[in-house]
Structure 1
Amino acid sequence: MQPITRRRSLRIAAIAAIALSAAALTGCSASSSGSGKTFTIMQYEDKTTAQGQGWQLALDIFKKKHPDVNVKFQTTSFDGFRKNAKLVLGGNKVPDVVEFNKGNADGGQLASQGLLQPLDNAVKKYNWDDKITGSMQSFAKYDAQGKAGSGQWYGIPNVGEYVTFYYNKDKFKHAGIDAVPTTMSEFTADLQKLKDSGTTPISSSAAVNQGFNQMWIWYSLVSAHADRKQIDNFMFLKGKVDFNKDPWKSGTQEFQDWIDKGYVGKDLGGLNYEQAIVNFLSGKTGMLIWNNGAFARTKDQASFGWGSFTLPGANMSMGSSGHLWGVPAKAKNKDLAYDWINTTLSAKVQNKIGELGGLPLAGDTSKISDPVTKEYTQRFDEVVKDNTLSFYPDYPVPGFLDFMQNNMSAMSNGNETAAQYLDKLQSFYDDGKKTVDQG
């Protein structure tokens, strides 16, 4: 779910080309050297993002370190690679290092099917486990069945993600809201104040393709009532999860209430996340729920005073490590791939990502010069330290993202109730868990 965040790169043309050949992808840039071996990097970050800019710096460093290597930097889309990853990694001409989505539904399947190279030896050699710690390791490791949270290392994240509510200070003032809410009751009261003032409180989306906002609102409300054990049971397929009990029941009912009261807008089935972001940045809504993928853009493009806060009074907050670097099992230049990953984790690259608000996992927050960016990063450091990140809801079982987006759209359009959604969720999750358990 997961662009950074969950952050998604823009879709580009010719996704079908991925299925035919990794070399056929658009968006390539090669070094001037035509001699020596060719090293292919495949990723889907927009080069204007903090992470994308950090990787451009890493590319410069890497090319200078390996002047005789012909480096091809290929850019695809998140959806394009996710849907065709097995074809790409199982082909005869595979990239040397790839960015892939974490979770049992994506990374876990690739790992369990032998399409990714185990990275334990590289982790030990480069001491990556000293940089990627705690819950940030959870989706880097997968067992033989493809379950996250334990087993061998198959991916290395560069950054973290966490979901906040970006808010328009002018809209808050107009609605009579003088301070950021600190409790859930204050927050819901502020939603009503915004609605009464003629402003849609939260900019959202529920398109069945990339309409992530509603899913994030729903899971944020579930996370608000959850504890660590309940989230881990759900996320890592531990024991029985009963979706007709709290925190699922209370969070989903609260979500339906927000829909019914107009707190998230209307006609959301035709809106994707990009349109939700634009609606917020154009001053049409009071808030936007998104992760750090919108931080730099809001900082650069908002024509109004703004701030951000995590859901007040919540036990857990949505967030995770970022997407992962992985090495295809069939890659011909594995040592170069490990060196590339290590370059992206270097202090120079990580601190550049941090300066741009990208939440680096191996950066030095104290070196961030902009106070707004530093405060935003410090808040992330706190939730990681407190171990209160609840990850993203579509990770546990195959097909979960599409399932959730379809049902979020149905709920948002009034075609499905909270109770009906929870029944469907139970059935889909239990069936998916059986599939994962059977390998």
Structure 2
Amino acid sequence: MKSFRSRTLLAVGTVAALAVTSCTPGSGSTNPQPVPTGAVRTDAAALGNVTLTVWDQEVRGGQAAQMEQLNKEFQAKYPNIRLQRVSRSFDDLKTTLRLALSGNEAPDVVQANNGRSDMGEFVKAGQLLPLDRYAAAYGWNGRYPETVRQYSSYSADGKAFGKGNLYGLPQVGEVVGLFYNTSKLAALGLQPPRTWPELESAMAAAKARGEVPMMFGNLDKWPAIHVFGTIQGRTSPPGDITTLAFGRKGASWKSAGNRQAAQQLTDWAGKGWLEPGFNGMGYDPAWQAFSKGTGVFLLGGTWLQADLAGAMGAGVGFMLPPPAKAGDRPIATGGTGLPFAVTAKSKHPDAAAAYINFITSEHAMSVLTSTGNLPVADTSRQSAGAGLAKDVLTAFGDAAGAGGLVPYLDYATPTMYDTLTASLQDLLARQKTPDQFLDSLQKDYGDFSTSNG
């Protein structure tokens, strides 16, 4: 997942030191506690007085609202379980979680980026608890199809991604699509584009009228992954993208479709279709500028739904990236938000699993919907009314139903996030040609494939 959040830091509860102050490099042991093998206890009220430390990255708008509501309801139902919540931005969480898991005071429940560079490494180090026993006890496998569970599944040695043991459970689904300013499109005399050539024509028309065609900020480096991945979905078979993204053998970055996508991204920048100052603009300032009327389009994830709806009302729409030609299967980058996992050092794994079960229950999915989020389970049962919420639910359902969701590209190897973000910056700055860009990705991918066996 990849729902990268704002840089706000919020601490809730009495975690004055955020549990990480004692986790200096080299402290503690990387050897996990023994994996429990006894019967699973699902009666949370009978677990005695327990304190759970929970790290999440639900810091923005509707994301924070749903988490606050569900935590409040959980503690009301189970007063014997006290929650100490530490809520951090994606970047902050990514920076500190590795250190925290290796220390003596690891949290009980964490949201872990499910890519190889994070969850894969945590699994390899034995720092996360396999949740298969809990999945069976709570019926998670019935509510979460394999196509969702694969995003949180690894072999016990961390080598195989997308199969093996279950190590986390997400709350939300995600899809990267096209937000558009309805009034600006109308002023241009245009409808939402039905094909990729229509999108490019609309951006050219917007540029000619002095508008910013595509709002985009890449100061944080990772937003370009979503833009490149979206273009790639028009130029490459989805099976090849999935093979690359899961780090499996059988595909190559050095393909004609990937080169076409890299060239097209370079062309967009050269034609002035992207926000002129994108290299110096952060992700949050970019979508916030879009919400205030700058830009006709914004390629972004469904995690922006609540914020954009609150700021723009009926003035914003959402659609899947249009296909290369009419009638093609919808292809979009997406999957799930960051899953909630139980750490191997948790002294209260049954309580931790009960908490995860509560915040991913059928009731929780309705809370997610009401707070402007996209539930990953029971999606078809939700009623979102009209407007942006309906657009988002429909888009996710269409992509998932057609098998058109492809994974985030930085999942591919433990180092692909750094390689891809740096290489995309160089590509956009014209410091690398498309071929040099793909050479960098193929080297990372090839080195990992060789070492991973």
- TM-score, normalised relative to structure 2: 0.86
Q: What's the counterpart of residue 88 of structure 1? A: 100
* Preserved CA contact (<8 Å) 1:355 1:370: no
Letter in 2 for 1:91: G
CA distance in 2, matches of 1:394, 1:131: 27
- Of the candidates 234, 258, 261, which is equivalent to residue 268 of structure 2? 258
| 1:19 CA drift (Å) | 4.5
* Identity level (%): 25
CA distance in 2, matches of 1:374, 1:13: 30
Q: CA, structure 1 residues 324+262, in 2 after alignment: closer, same or farther (shift >3 Å)?
A: same
Q: Secondary structure at the match of 1:84?
A: helix
Q: What's the counterpart of residue 269 of structure 1? A: 279
Q: What's the counterpart of residue 422 of structure 1? A: 438
Q: Secondary structure at the match of 2:52?
A: strand
Q: What's the counterpart of residue 312 of structure 1? A: 322
Q: Secondary structure at the match of 1:320?
A: strand
Q: What's the counterpart of residue 26 of structure 2? A: none
Letter in 2 for 1:198: G
Letter in 2 for 1:403: T
* Preserved CA contact (<8 Å) 1:206 1:405: no
Q: How does 1:393-412 map to 2 (within 5 A)?
A: 393-412=409-428
Q: What's the counterpart of residue 342 of structure 1? A: 357
Letter in 2 for 1:156: L
Q: What's the counterpart of residue 227 of structure 2? A: 217
Cα deviation code 1:43-98 (max 9, x no counterpart): 1111632x332222221222123213332112123222222323211211121111
**Structure 1: stretches of 5+ with no match in the other structure:** 23-34
Q: CA, structure 1 residues 369+167, in 2 after alignment: closer, same or farther (shift >3 Å)?
A: closer
**Structure 2: stretches of 5+ with no match in the other structure:** 12-16, 24-47
Q: Secondary structure at the match of 1:247?
A: helix
| 1:164 CA drift (Å) | 1.2
Q: Secondary structure at the match of 2:323?
A: coil
The answer to whether the aligner puts 1:377 opposite 2:387 as a matched pair is no
- Of the candidates 244, 267, 292, which is equivalent to residue 234 of structure 1? 244
CA distance in 2, matches of 1:232, 1:362: 22
CA distance in 2, matches of 1:230, 1:416: 23
Cα deviation code 1:308-346 (max 9, x no counterpart): 111111552111111111000010011101110110122
CA distance in 2, matches of 1:86, 1:213: 23
Cα deviation code 1:163-198 (max 9, x no counterpart): 111111222223332x11111111111111111111
Q: Secondary structure at the match of 1:20?
A: coil
Paired residue total:
418
Letter in 2 for 1:430: G
Q: What's the counterpart of residue 73 of structure 2? A: 61
| 1:12 CA drift (Å) | 2.8
Q: Secondary structure at the match of 2:201?
A: helix
Q: What's the counterpart of residue 113 of structure 1? A: 125
Q: How does 1:180-199 map to 2 (within 5 A)?
A: 180-199=192-211
Q: CA, structure 1 residues 233+283, in 2 after alignment: closer, same or farther (shift >3 Å)?
A: same
Q: Secondary structure at the match of 1:118?
A: coil
| 1:106 CA drift (Å) | 1.2
CA distance in 2, matches of 1:19, 1:71: 17
Q: CA, structure 1 residues 337+165, in 2 after alignment: closer, same or farther (shift >3 Å)?
A: same
* Preserved CA contact (<8 Å) 1:268 1:409: no
Q: What's the counterpart of residue 12 of structure 1? A: 9
Q: CA, structure 1 residues 145+222, in 2 after alignment: closer, same or farther (shift >3 Å)?
A: farther
Cα deviation code 1:11-31 (max 9, x no counterpart): 4399x9664347xxxxxxxxx
Q: What's the counterpart of residue 305 of structure 2? A: 295
Report which stretch shifted further, 401-410 or 420-429.
401-410
The answer to whether the aligner puts 1:386 opposite 2:399 as a matched pair is no
Cα deviation code 1:337-395 (max 9, x no counterpart): 11101101222221111233311122354442422213421221121121111121111
Q: Secondary structure at the match of 2:231?
A: helix
Letter in 2 for 1:194: A
Report which stretch shifted further, 274-283 or 35-44.
35-44
- Of the candidates 340, 349, 354, which is equivalent to residue 325 of structure 1? 340
Q: What's the counterpart of residue 71 of structure 1? A: 83
CA distance in 2, matches of 1:18, 1:394: 28
CA distance in 1, matches of 2:100, 2:94: 10
Q: CA, structure 1 residues 404+188, in 2 after alignment: closer, same or farther (shift >3 Å)?
A: same
Report which stretch shifted further, 59-68 or 385-394.
59-68
- TM-score, normalised relative to structure 1: 0.89
* Preserved CA contact (<8 Å) 1:86 1:115: no
The answer to whether the aligner puts 1:149 opposite 2:162 as a matched pair is yes
Letter in 1 for 2:148: M
Q: Secondary structure at the match of 1:308?
A: strand
C-alpha RMSD of the superposition: 2.3
CA distance in 2, matches of 1:205, 1:47: 18
